[in-house]
Structure 1
C-alpha cells in the first residue's frame, strides 16, 4: 500500500469518525457504511476492511467500547469486502446499483449485529425484529449519504489518481 492510499484512507477514516460523532443523535444514521462502500469500490477490499477497523475503534473510543465493537468490525469489514469485490469486476457500475447496494448494506449490518445477540443470549428473531426500524434508518441514511458523497469523492479520487497514481490493485 503506497503513501497516497494511506493518506486517502486516513482522510476517509477521519471523515467517518467525525460523521459518526456528528450524527450520533440520529439512531443508525451515519456516513460510516457509505464511506466504507466508497472506499471498497475505489481503493479495493483490503483498504475498505482497514477503514472498517480504523473507524470502529476510533469512533468507539468516543462513543463507547463494548462487545458490539467486534461485531461492528465484522459487519463493516464484510460490507467493505463485498464492495471491494463489486468494484473489481465491472468496468463501470451504474450509480443506482451502488445506491441499492448501500441500502442492502444497512440491512446486512443489522443482521450481523443481531447475530451478536444470538451468540450471547441465544435469541435472534426477537432482537432482529425489534431492530428492523433501526436497520431501515441505516439503509435510508446509507442511500442519502451515498447520493451526496459518492459523486464528490469518486471525482476527487479519480481526478487526482489519473494525474499521479493508479488506485486499484496497488495493495
Structure 2
C-alpha cells in the first residue's frame, strides 16, 4: 500500500470517526458503513477492510469498547471486502447500485451484530427481531450517506488522482 492510499485511508477514517461521534444522537445512523462501501468501490477490498478495522477501534476508543467491537470489526471488514469486490467486478458501479448494496449492508451489519448476544446469552432470534427497526434506521442512513457522500468523495479522489498521476508522468 503506497503513501497515497494510506493518506486517503487516514482521511476516510477521520471522517468516519467524527461522523460516528456526531450522529450518536440518532440510533444506528452513522456514516461508517457508507464510507467503508465507498472506500471499497474506489480503493479496493483491502483498503476497505483496513478502513473498517481502523474506524472500529478508533471510534470505539471514544464511544466505548466491549465484546461488540469484535463483531463490528467482522461486519465492517466483510462489508468492505464485498464492496471492494463489487467495485472490481463492475467498473461502472452506479450510485443506485451502491444505494441498494448499502441498504443490504445495513441489515447484514445488524445480523452480524446480533451474533454478539448469541455468543453471550445463547438467544439470537428474539434479539435480532427486536433490533430490526434499528437495522432499518441503519439501512436508510446508509442510503442517504451514499447519496450525499459518494459524488463528493469520488470527485475529490478522481481530481487528486488525475493531478497526482499527471504530475508524475510529466516530471
Match of 2:31 in 1: 31
Moved segments of 4+, more than 6 Å: none
State the shift of 1:165 in Å: 4.1
Q: Which residue of 2 aligns with 1:18?
A: 18
- Aligned length in residues: 166
Alpha-carbon deviations, 1:28-87, whole Å to 9, x = none? 000000000000000111111110111100100000000000000000000000000000
Gapped regions of structure 2 (runs ≥ 5): 167-171
Query: The residue matched to 1:26 in structure 2 has which SS?
Result: coil
8 Å CA contact 2:37–2:84 kept in 1: the answer is: yes
In structure 2, the partner of 1:169 is: none
Q: Which residue of 1 aligns with 2:104?
A: 104
TM-align CA RMSD = 1.1
- SS state of the match for residue 65, structure 1? coil
| Structure with higher RCO (Cα < 8 A, 6+ apart) | 1
Match for residue 81 of structure 1? 81
Cross-structure match for 1:127 = 127
Q: What residue ranges of structure 1 are gaps of 5+ in the alignment? A: 167-171
Q: Would you tell me which structure has more helix in proportion to its own residues?
A: 2
> Corresponding residue for 2:169?
none
Q: Secondary structure at the match of 1:29?
A: coil
Aligned pair 1:141/2:104, yes or no? no
Compared CA separation, residues 116 and 4, structure 1 to 2 (3 A): same
* Counterpart contact for 2:12–2:35, Cα < 8 Å: yes
Kindly state the Cα deviation for residue 101 of structure 1 after the two structures are TM-superposed: 0.4
Distance 1:92 1:66 in 2: 39
Per the alignment, residue 51 of structure 1 pairs with 51
Deviates more, 1:92-101 or 1:15-24: 92-101
| CA–CA distance in structure 2, aligned partners of residues 135 and 34 of structure 1 | 14
The TM-score, its normalising length taken from structure 2, stands at 0.94
For residues 70 and 45 of structure 2, the distance between their equivalents in structure 1, rounded to whole angstroms, comes to 19
Counterpart position of 1:3: 3
Q: What's the secondary structure of 2:150's corresponding residue?
A: helix
